[in-house]
Amino acid sequence: MTPEIQEVQRIPCPRCNFQIDPVELAKLLPDDVLISERSRRNGLKPRRRQAGPGRPKGVARCPSCLSILSLTELRDHLLPCLTDKFQQFKTSGQIVQLKPIDATEYRDFSVTEVRDEIVVFFKLSNHQYVEVPLRAIRDITPSVNREPALITLRGAMRWREDIQRWRFATE
């Protein structure tokens, strides 16, 4: 039994309805167009670059002073350094913004108190106090061009509709 040769089906041109032979059309295309289409169809797309090897093991960066320390040094260094930074924010009366935060256009806070392992923020728009553990501070981006400093949290500021209050949540 011989395999049947299928007849090439001609394609009508969308503009003039002229019947185009796909084989003849493929001959007119540049080789790199055909190669890229073949690789796309075969799943041989060029891979996107992956991230590098990751963070170095055994060291971390202080979110306040940006110094790189070993993990044991960071444990001893973190709380006093963050306490000093937030005391500076408190004495200067600097406005800060927290993220992530539920959708709101009023994101301005000020630091009112730093005690033990907790910093207390005062939300300027609705006059509420919110307590955040110092260990939940992931990063502090200093203020630039009169923009407030940005504090990134491990967790988020959530609006609790049932009590009409802002709360820090770790979930």
Tokens of 84: 């000093």
Q: How far apart are CA 63 and CA 142, in angstroms?
A: 11
Full-model pTM: 0.66
Q: How far apart are CA 126 and CA 142, in angstroms?
A: 24
Instruction: Per residue of the chain (171 residues), give pLDDT as tens.
Output: 555 666 677 777 778 878 878 777 778 888 888 787 777 777 755 566 666 677 678 888 899 998 999 999 999 999 999 999 999 999 999 999 999 998 888 889 999 999 989 999 999 999 999 999 999 999 999 888 888 999 999 999 999 999 999 999 987
Tokens of 71: 């993990």
Q: How far apart are CA 6 and CA 75, in angstroms?
A: 74
Contact (CB, 8 A) for 128 and 119: no
